[in-house]
Amino acid sequence: MALSPDSKPFIEVRGLKKKIGKQEILRGVNLDVYRGETLVLIGPSGEGKSVLLKHLIGLMKPDEGTIKIDGTSLTGLRERQLAPLRKQIGILFQNAALFDSLTLEQNVAFPLHEAGVKDQKEITDRVHEALDVVELANHKQKMPVNLSGGMRKRAGIARAIISRPACVLYDEPTSGLDPIVSDVIDQMIMRLQKRYHMTAIVVTHDMKSVFKISNRVAMLKGGVIHFLGTPDELRHCPAQDVQDFIEGKSDIEG
């Protein structure tokens, strides 16, 4: 996907700093994400990838720095003012976060009820469309407990896209899944990009996914974006720590 150098970023993060307790997690993150691109966020465990995602939907507030979504700054917005911006961004949490007491269909419809959609036909049609995209339309009456790990992730994706957001944030969408099911999830992320020109940020440790789905890759390390570039630039990045990371080499001597 060609990025036009003069196109405005959909998400713009500048100088983002965040401390949790005494720990400085984010130390000045700068990042632009453009409409229609899939940006994969990698980096060592505990470096703040999930914390960064939470800032993008206003679930966490920066200590310093700014975040703009489609040109609107999140700084100082109240819960009510955040709602329309949140509608533009869907999120798939690490555990898919389904409600155990609701059927798959009811889980996927939930954001529409929250958004005040009343028209039952519209709800039914949109749930069907979202479940169709993730190939779960035949399972809509199932309870979450009766879904496999991969089906739960796909259900989470259906729920993340039901409000037709411009952008979806995926927090480790393939973790704990076998390689075949992981490939199905990757295909779905790519299908959403193609079909709806959806912008995506995908946090993953799965290097195969990184090279399959990304237009650009950002590596968060030391509280900053330590590497940013195309998958090809990542492959040829001269920094030893970046190469060690993608090859899964630890710096502990064996």
Ligand X SMILES: Nc1ncnc2c1ncn2[C@@H]1O[C@H](COP(=O)(O)OP(=O)(O)OP(=O)(O)O)[C@@H](O)[C@H]1O
Binding site for ligand X (CB under 6 A): 20, 23, 25, 43, 45-51
Reading the block at residue 178, the tokens are 């076998």
Tokens 């060690």: give the residue: 244
Q: How far is the CB of 106 from ligand X (least distance, A)?
A: 28
Tokens 């200590």: give the residue: 63
Residue 222 CA to residue 46 CA, distance in Å, equals 10
Q: How far is the CB of 241 from ligand X (least distance, A)?
A: 16
Residue 25 CA to residue 16 CA, distance in Å, equals 10
For residues 52 and 136, which CB has a smaller minimum distance to ligand X in the complex?
Answer: 52
For residues 43 and 111, which CB has a smaller minimum distance to ligand X in the complex?
Answer: 43
For residues 6 and 247, which CB has a smaller minimum distance to ligand X in the complex?
Answer: 247
Residue 120 CA to residue 80 CA, distance in Å, equals 25
Find, among 59, 78, 68, the residue nearest to 18 by Cα.
59
Q: Which residue is nearest to ligand X (CB)?
A: 45
103: region left, alpha or beta (phi > 0 left; psi from -120 to 50 alpha): beta
Q: How far is the CB of 202 from ligand X (least distance, A)?
A: 12
For residues 139 and 221, which CB has a smaller minimum distance to ligand X in the complex?
Answer: 221
Q: How far is the CB of 13 from ligand X (least distance, A)?
A: 15
